[in-house]
Amino acid sequence: MLNMSILRTKKRFSLILLCLLFSSCEETGFKDSKTFIDGRTASKQTLSLGKQVYLEYCMACHGMNGEGNGPASKGSIPAPRNLTQGLYKFGLVKNNALPTDKDFHRIIKKGLHGTGMLPWDVSDDQIDAVIQYIKTLAPQIWEGKDKSLVGEKIELGVDPYGLARKNSGVERGKEVYHVVANCQSCHQAYVTKDELNVITKKVTGTPASEFDPTIYNLKIQESEYYLYENKERRMKFLPPDFTWHTIRSANTVEEIAQRLCAGITGTGMPAWCGAIPDDDIWAAAYYTKSLMDLRGKHTERTLLIKSLEN
């Protein structure tokens, strides 16, 4: 009898401990529904489920309160997103506005390449619930009247190249990257100065008069993001070398084109939709993908890098 009593006591203690750890008891759940500025009303049951999902899958990196300071965040590069800021990089919306639920769903389901943000194999209901809960972590952004709604989905024209004209896309993309959009002002150039001179003359009618001495260097960029411990200290980012680094939110030509179109919110990466023709965005995507395909191809990449040193 004594052993049974001890066993029951242990079970009760374990239950209480689980409630404390995962905040799944009724008293720590949501008492009311919430309506967000995107027009979505989340029931208290949905928000409570979202909190449980968050604590199980997200808290270790993003922290108990979403500040990006979870126990697994130490030493993480890049640092987990501070979700209390309500600023998100990888939406596919116009004007760097708030992402849609579909954007959140895509990121949670697919993850972000080369980061601790893994693809999560959870149900659609769980994803939807945790999305609504994440919004409660930044009430100053997602709640209240007289605020801007979430962004309008970007609209990018149909790919004018396709597999049949892929090489044409790459060649035009090289011109867009180095002259039209001047991408090397943040990233780096991938052509020799002689070739850049030829490209510049072809596109503008005038050869390049001088070259930036940092043309083959990646340039550290400012951002609007901050870590939980210091709101005044903004994080800095190093743009990727497309032949070396993993691109976090894009892998295919279509994904790259969409990212170029939308830009990356809170960073120096602008939205190119409307700034240059859609055909040029697709061309730049083909060229960027050709650079990304050199990753892991040691001989080809070495030849390219050595050509730039001369």
- Is residue 91 a contact partner of residue 103, using CB atoms and an 8 Å limit? yes
Helix intervals (H) in the chain? 2-22, 44-53, 59-62, 101-110, 124-136, 139-142, 166-175, 193-204, 253-262, 278-292, 298-309
pLDDT computed for residue 18 by the predictor: 46
Query: Which residue stretches of the chain have pLDDT < 50?
Result: 1-11, 13-26
Burial bucket for residue 115 (CB in 10 Å: 0-12, 13-18, 19+): middle
Residues 120-140 have pLDDT tens digits of 999 999 999 999 999 999 999
| C-alpha to C-alpha distance for 52 and 203, rounded to whole angstroms | 55
Total-model pTM: 0.87
pLDDT computed for residue 15 by the predictor: 45
Please name the residue that has the structure tokens 């952004």.
Answer: 141
Q: Name the residue ranges covered by the structural domains of the chain.
A: 14-142, 163-309
pLDDT computed for residue 26 by the predictor: 46
pLDDT computed for residue 233 by the predictor: 86
CATH 3.90.950.20 holds for 14-142 = no
From the list 85, 62, 89, the residue with the least C-alpha distance to 233 is 85
The three-state DSSP-derived secondary structure of 66-113 is: CCCCCCCCCCCCCCCCCHHHCCCCCCCEHHHCCCCHHHHHHHHHHCCC
Cis ω before 277 (30° cut-off from 0): no
